[in-house]
Amino acid sequence: MLTITEKILRAHSNSKKVVAGDFILADVDKCLANDITAPIAIEVFRKVIIGTGKGVFNKEKIILTPDHFSPAKDVASAEQCKVLREFAKEFEIKYYFKIGKVGIEHCLIPEQGLVKPGELFIGADSHTCTYGALGAFSTGVGSTDLGVAMALGKSWFRVPESIKFIYSGKLNKWVSGKDLILHTIGDIGVNGATYKAMEFTGEIIENLSMANRFTMCNMAIEAGAKNGIINPDKITHSYLKNRFSKDYKTYNSDKNAEYDDLIEYECDKIEPQVAVPHLPENSKPISEIAEENIRLDQIVIGSCTNGRLEDLAIAAKIINKRKISKDIRCIIIPGTQNIYLEALKKGYIKIFLTSGAIVSTPTCGPCLGGCMGILGPEENALSTTNRNFLGRMGHITSKIYLSSPAIAAASAIKGNITSPEYID
């Protein structure tokens, strides 16, 4: 009796007995790197192949996304991006995404149909765990791991034990996947799932949209987990319909699979959440935070956590004909070119621009303090990103609060942290 995580790893190893705790050398289906991690991985890759006459293991299974400091924000970033471009050319990498095609990697890859259920996906980026939402095993690795995988098509793993999270009851108004995961990390802590798989289940998850599922799996790493995962179902299949014909194999956890722990949440009790500085585990209910009238200087709506069309739709619905508060810089970043285009067609971009927000080309930008909205001394930001570590968005005395797009949009109008419930 196995978990979905055990089944996928077993299927990719050469042993039919693999269970949690075992170490395996497994075949990887895809490997991914970005403008920060690829240059080192490429150096490792060259060390591996030198003198062997070999190249990459499969030029259709390597994905390169210059998304972090791009369009290049300075000369150093331009040099990094150049390494990717030249490598992609030399080895004819099929999925190298240039500016104009690229988006934030974890929004882009599922959208482009580059990850399927049942796959083993590694990326030199910690939020690679996002694709567990599609029932794949995907996890972040180091640059050496990735460099070797590009040559060998293999990587080693310790098969993780799983923790089963069960979400039951009913979702309160304005509560999204972001609130569920912030609440969960608040409950178990930033080390609460170290080494483990977080398997999200229950009637709430069964009815949750793909965008919300991506958001939840995206933040599994913020609890120290190796991967987040959701058993594929109707919602998964309909998301994949136009991306794949039926050529994928799905795995589901057995009913009596073994779990390290079962943790159940009664969702009727969960309000929209805000994680206060400086850890994602510092989540608090909005009713409590709204009373504090926390002054804001900047709002960011975007990132691999919440930069999808559904996120922009909620923000647009709340902002509607209202104006962004006069003291707030509101920066909205669609995750990919397609999301941007769809948001344009649906009129969201017009709503944002008329309200006094700005809309950026897809990039990680402020999420990691790269560009497009760096915080100055003692500034406060509310952001839909995933990490509120000290100094992550700019100056060491600045502060980051994390929330869903709904809370972020309402707060942009009000000028301090609030809920859509309180803005009229």
151 binds, among another protein, ligand SF4, none (CB under 5 to 8 A by kind): another protein
- Cis amide bond preceding 237, omega within 30: no
Per CB under 6 A, 412 contacts ligand SF4: no
Q: Which does 54 bind (CB under 5 to 8 A by kind): ligand SF4, another protein, none?
A: another protein
Question: Would you state the structure tokens that stand for residue 292, as one six-digit string?
Answer: 């504090």
Binding site partner of 226, from another protein, ligand SF4, none, Cβ cut-off 5-8 A by kind: another protein
Window 153 to 212, contacts with another protein (CB under 8 A): 154, 156, 194-195
Contact status: 224 vs another protein (CB under 8 A): yes
- Specify whether the CB–CB gap between 125 and 40 falls below 8 A: no
* Tokens, residue 53: 């006459």
Only one of the segments 95-103, 151-159, 322-330, 397-405 lies at the binding site for another protein (rule: CB under 8 A); that segment is 151-159
44 binds another protein (CB under 8 A): yes
C-alpha closest to that of 114 among 149, 64, 70: 64
Which lies closer to another protein via its Cβ, residue 41 or residue 359? Answer: 41
Q: Exactly one of 68, 329, 399, 414 binds ligand SF4 (CB under 6 A); which one? A: 68
Which of 191, 68, 166 lies closest to 124, judged by CA? 68
Measured between alpha carbons, how far is 10 from 64 in angstroms, rounded to an integer?
27
**Binding residue for ligand SF4, selected from 250, 303, 306, 337, defined by CB under 6 A:** 303
Distance CA 424, CA 47 (A): 61
- Report CA dihedral (236, 384, 299, 356) to the nearest 10 degrees: 0
Closest CA to 281 of 192, 166, 404, 155: 192
- Distance from the Cα of residue 405 to its chain's centroid: 14
149/319 with CB nearer another protein: 149
* Number of residues engaging ligand SF4 in binding (CB under 6 A): 13
Distance CA 319, CA 411 (A): 10
Q: Which one of 20-28, 326-334, 394-402, 403-411 is the stretch in contact with another protein (CB under 8 A)?
A: 20-28
Side chain identity at residue 47, one-letter code:
K
Site for another protein in 74-133 (CB under 8 A): 126
Residue where the block lists tokens 């400091």? 69
Residues lying near another protein in the complex (CB under 8 A): 22-23, 25, 44, 47-49, 52, 54, 126, 141-145, 147-148, 151-152, 154, 156, 194-195, 224, 226
Residues lying near ligand SF4 in the complex (CB under 6 A): 68, 104-106, 125, 127, 303-304, 364, 367-368, 385-386
